[in-house]
Structure 1
């Protein structure tokens, strides 16, 4: 990258968190700027939002972070949905709404998330993709501060952030709900960082958690969560043995928490609080409090254990409360849609789980674990030691289509509810609908819901939906499960992210990585770099698939496949150079690169994991 490349001007539909004032690059001259290209469906983007919080706090007088929202799903283009997401995830910086991906193209982004660093004189000095870059960016910011303080081109002062007015509701962006032992409901109120117990009529009985973001254990008024989601009641004998009744997926803390319902006390039962970056030493079985988790999103009791939808790494994990152990259950960490044995299947941000207790369903209905695989807009299930797809076509195909399962489409579903008759309800979040899968067919049960994130069957037989964006639980009217063709059924979408045009035959893949200032590649625990390449459909890739330690790869693309998605997973391990007690860092990114094959296509493809020049003086 030329160190004197001028950063392109801001373009987009509008601004959030600025009090309605549009921003221009000239307004930020004298400040260090990070552009964060994100989309609110993407778990990796949410991880980066959390990674940026310490930088915003430490460098608040010299650093301006601008979130550039570049949507994947159709629903994410809705400005009201974006405004809700900015509040939901406590985004504390200005956000540019870029529904047509103008900024995405201007800055040649290829992946969510992508971060671009701009110096105080308005020049682009670094582009990075993926997670784990906070330490490297901090080093570069320190260098920019030193350089531009000496030049007199650094201006200190507040960032152009104007918070939205606070709203008071009983629930705030409820994520998941389950029936409580007394017939009411337990709900994760994610933006309030609490578990809320409701009576059957939805009145608040009590709150577990102080309401402040954090990770303290203790009494309900002192305990803290960070955007909790999934909830799972343990079987009575297990609960009695371990001393807690409820397991909570404490999503942004990357923890599982145990709650004793008698007094509401909270303990940490799994996770270190560090986000997962690489495989545990023994992925089959590890002490639960020593393993790193990654955005656990939902929980279900299945196969004698708690199964965890580990959205952050596109896997299912298991947790054994009695033994205090945890391990990988399904998935490889590759983000895509592929069925097969549990250890070989691919998933894409699993976010909802449901199963029936043994003996409570029709024949064959109680031996499946149902999964809402959100980024592939798919309904999937575990049975017979394998992962199967009931409905879903891939990462970039979605919509609101009823009919045979082979043709039906969802749009980023987050919740699923198995019913005793063998059918399954799907909280079709970005379609604002409740859908039903039965006998190989999908029908629409209800529409007009505000980002439904879960559904639960109440003791009286009614269906209760967590309407996340409406901040409430909603009980559907009796008879609602009698399916109807919902308004808008038949809409089909496909992600409009520009495809990379490549030629058939030999293609050179180059993942660009240079250690951040003050760091060096670290091979203390094995090779410092890793590159995994695959394709969907697999026939797209004639050769070049697999895992190597080199960040370049010679591929051969098929001349008979018109296009598809190249799946590229790269990581690099670094450590601080020339310091005592050096810290280790691992950066990682999973690209799903849409490609089309043509005679005039390129013969090289370059992806930036961490590409930079030393800040120019």
Structure 2
């Protein structure tokens, strides 16, 4: 027991040593050579004094590798352990820093980064949800699901994120707690690589890496949609009913009609930070969207740490807040793109009137002023971007373009207060404006709160705990006020029609309803129309209402879909999003093709039933537990399909039912089906991607109903008919 106790105290001792080391490195007038000497002398001591940590427990789930990384794999490597939980904004902020380190040193150079997932919420212990997060945040290094937090407890860790750097014998040599300070992390890694190379302890062997990017792939339309917003409220017939979707995983914004027809795609599919024409603009994992009117919308461009303005008439994108890099300002006050902000997660437009005029002018129409309110998850605050000159609480004047904090002191707490600057939030992630108040999904405290838009008072609504520092008061309990329990809610939507707030209770995979008069919260018993079963969402992130308040649009994030919930019947249907024939051609044109014989169809239109069988060569099978994706691409708007995508190919053959309206004999179309398979042979697992192309020709004598069978032979070397 004494030996175990000494081992458990190791990280505390290491943290103290690193504090002293950092003080020495930051001394005034110290040269680079002197810094290197300090680091080398430190490593000589640390390498001898610190005992190796234990291996990972057996039978843990690993991602981005073909097999668990045992001691044999990691021997001779400098290992960077990133202890994280995927809900945590501070952990998300560390990912770009780790990516830079990986770009500087490869596995063959002797460096391995491993994400050790140590869950805060119960939902985060599920490997399927972690796999979704690995895909969503584009994590390419190995990740292990330490679902019982065994290593976390053995090392007596206290916060997320914590970075521990191990030497080639698994001995801890550096520790860094919290986000930020990439320069220090870079120095640690560079010193360790140099020291152990000089000691001839670095080995250049590779690891069985297998990026999980293809294991969770989107359907035809969306990839991890985050939020959704509508142009039109309160039945205003003068405004067209359009919806904006943040297609977060594809780094773009999609504008659709109520029927799901796509009329604009802005950004994507590669992350970037570019203003300008709609065709050139780029975003990085955008989340919140809101409309000023049918022409202008605003975007919380989360990983660009910016708020963007899209003008659909001028066809342009501009930045109205943020510099493109993470900010650490907790006050604000600068203008537009000069003001740094941190991880905006949602936005809402507040239409107000100047406070002094409201009280002193009677019977006079006062011009409406517009403010974009921002949920700044990264600094745990509520910010405002003043679109117009505005006079707000306590008659304080803000010039148009000012970006400023309006609530929250920057501490990560669930602290309510009559004075907004004394209140504290915990990763606010969803906003919705009611009559005179704004409702806030405060995700890390698992509660819904409200901010008075009259005087700034912050009050509790449901969930959370009376202790403002307790951020672990989560659960799945209907009830009133604090008796109700949520789990990491991400979205809120106020409905004036029934005086309710609907909540995307993300980690409970549910939609809940709050009566804002009584603060009573209850689960919405939603039924999926096609199956008649209770609807189970997958980490829903955003909500909005149709203009009449009868239909709730849900961004069903991990299912890559938008669900429509009829609030009268509580029946849900997926929204069928329709791209035109030119949408996403790169998905199909850049893949290996197999082309079937042409199918002849009558010029008056008709139906085609395709039966596709995948014949795997002897010794090859579908990888157990991995999804087998397929998705069909239609030639143009004259075509429709009953079942356009799927994830299960174990039941053969695959049946596709298509129909086409009238065409001419000079027309010819091509149906394309993209297959994304995960296969295994006796000695190796491998992905296989290809497109089945079915030519269709039209003839006045052609049949109206076609049944076509297609056999595709798949071996390790080829795919062919």
For residue 120 of structure 1, report the CA deviation from its aligned partner: 2.4
Contact 2:332 2:339 in 1 (8 A): no
Contact 2:61 2:127 in 1 (8 A): no
Per the alignment, residue 147 of structure 1 pairs with 195
Distance 1:285 1:62, change over 3 A: same
- Whole-angstrom CA distance in 1 between matches of 2:411 and 2:569: 38
For residue 465 of structure 1, report the CA deviation from its aligned partner: 0.7
Alignment of 1:316-335 (within 5 A): 316-322=382-388, 323-335=400-412
Contact 1:12 1:97 in 2 (8 A): no
For residue 278 of structure 1, report the CA deviation from its aligned partner: 4.2
- Whole-angstrom CA distance in 2 between matches of 1:157 and 1:187: 44
Q: Alpha-carbon deviations, 1:481-539, whole Å to 9, x = none?
A: 69xxxxxxxxxxxxxxxxxxxxxxxxxxxxxxxxxxxxxxxxxxxxxxxxxxxxxxxxx
Per the alignment, residue 574 of structure 1 pairs with none
- Whole-angstrom CA distance in 1 between matches of 2:519 and 2:291: 30
Q: Alpha-carbon deviations, 1:330-373, whole Å to 9, x = none?
A: 111111111101000011000000014xxxxxxxxx11101000
For residue 71 of structure 1, report the CA deviation from its aligned partner: 0.5
Per the alignment, residue 98 of structure 2 pairs with 52
- Whole-angstrom CA distance in 2 between matches of 1:392 and 1:265: 41
2:443 to 347, 353, 374: 374
For residue 14 of structure 1, report the CA deviation from its aligned partner: 2.6
Alignment of 1:279-358 (within 5 A): 279=330, 283=331, 285-302=333-350, 303=352, 304-322=370-388, 323-340=400-417, 341-356=419-434
TM-score, length basis structure 2: 0.62
For residue 450 of structure 1, report the CA deviation from its aligned partner: 1.4
Q: Alpha-carbon deviations, 1:167-202, whole Å to 9, x = none?
A: 242111100100146313110011110101222122
1:77 aligns with 2:111: no
TM-score, length basis structure 1: 0.72
Per the alignment, residue 77 of structure 2 pairs with 31
Contact 2:333 2:339 in 1 (8 A): no
- Whole-angstrom CA distance in 1 between matches of 2:57 and 2:339: 42
- Whole-angstrom CA distance in 2 between matches of 1:91 and 1:213: 14
Q: How many residues align?
A: 463
- Whole-angstrom CA distance in 2 between matches of 1:101 and 1:347: 26
Q: Tell me, what secondary structure is at the counterpart of 2:140?
A: coil
Alignment of 1:74-473 (within 5 A): 74-156=122-204, 158=206, 160-166=208-214, 167-169=217-219, 170-180=221-231, 182-235=240-293, 245-262=296-313, 264-279=315-330, 283=331, 285-302=333-350, 303=352, 304-322=370-388, 323-340=400-417, 341-356=419-434, 366-383=435-452, 384-394=455-465, 395-420=471-496, 421-438=498-515, 439-445=518-524, 446=526, 448-460=536-548, 461-473=550-562
Q: Alpha-carbon deviations, 1:125-165, whole Å to 9, x = none?
A: 01111111321121122112221222221233555431125
Q: Tell me, what secondary structure is at the counterpart of 1:455?
A: strand
Per the alignment, residue 550 of structure 1 pairs with none
- Whole-angstrom CA distance in 1 between matches of 2:484 and 2:462: 7
Q: Alpha-carbon deviations, 1:6-59, whole Å to 9, x = none?
A: 132122653333344111133122221111011111110111112211111111
Which of the pair is proportionally richer in helix?
A: 2
Q: Alpha-carbon deviations, 1:220-266, whole Å to 9, x = none?
A: 33221111001122257xx7xxxxx1111110111111111125422
Consecutive unaligned residues of structure 1, counting only runs of 5 or more, are: 240-244, 357-365, 483-617
Per the alignment, residue 719 of structure 2 pairs with none
Q: Alpha-carbon deviations, 1:524-572, whole Å to 9, x = none?
A: xxxxxxxxxxxxxxxxxxxxxxxxxxxxxxxxxxxxxxxxxxxxxxxxx
- Segment of structure 1 superposing worse, 16-25 or 63-72: 16-25
Contact 1:210 1:222 in 2 (8 A): no
- Whole-angstrom CA distance in 1 between matches of 2:59 and 2:551: 42
Alignment of 1:15-30 (within 5 A): 15-30=61-76
- Whole-angstrom CA distance in 2 between matches of 1:63 and 1:288: 40
Q: Alpha-carbon deviations, 1:280-339, whole Å to 9, x = none?
A: xxx252212222211000011125411100001111011113422101111111111111
- Whole-angstrom CA distance in 2 between matches of 1:67 and 1:475: 36
- Whole-angstrom CA distance in 2 between matches of 1:17 and 1:192: 21
Contact 1:12 1:99 in 2 (8 A): no
For residue 480 of structure 1, report the CA deviation from its aligned partner: 4.2
- Whole-angstrom CA distance in 2 between matches of 1:100 and 1:405: 31
Contact 1:254 1:271 in 2 (8 A): yes
- Whole-angstrom CA distance in 2 between matches of 1:321 and 1:14: 51
Per the alignment, residue 623 of structure 2 pairs with none
- Whole-angstrom CA distance in 1 between matches of 2:273 and 2:126: 33
- Segment of structure 1 superposing worse, 269-278 or 377-386: 269-278
Contact 2:476 2:487 in 1 (8 A): yes
For residue 415 of structure 1, report the CA deviation from its aligned partner: 0.1
Contact 1:202 1:473 in 2 (8 A): no
Per the alignment, residue 711 of structure 2 pairs with none
Consecutive unaligned residues of structure 2, counting only runs of 5 or more, are: 1-13, 15-45, 232-238, 353-369, 389-399, 466-470, 527-534, 572-721
- Whole-angstrom CA distance in 1 between matches of 2:480 and 2:228: 29
- Whole-angstrom CA distance in 2 between matches of 1:309 and 1:414: 11
Q: Tell me, what secondary structure is at the counterpart of 2:227?
A: strand
1:477 aligns with 2:548: no
- Whole-angstrom CA distance in 1 between matches of 2:224 and 2:274: 22
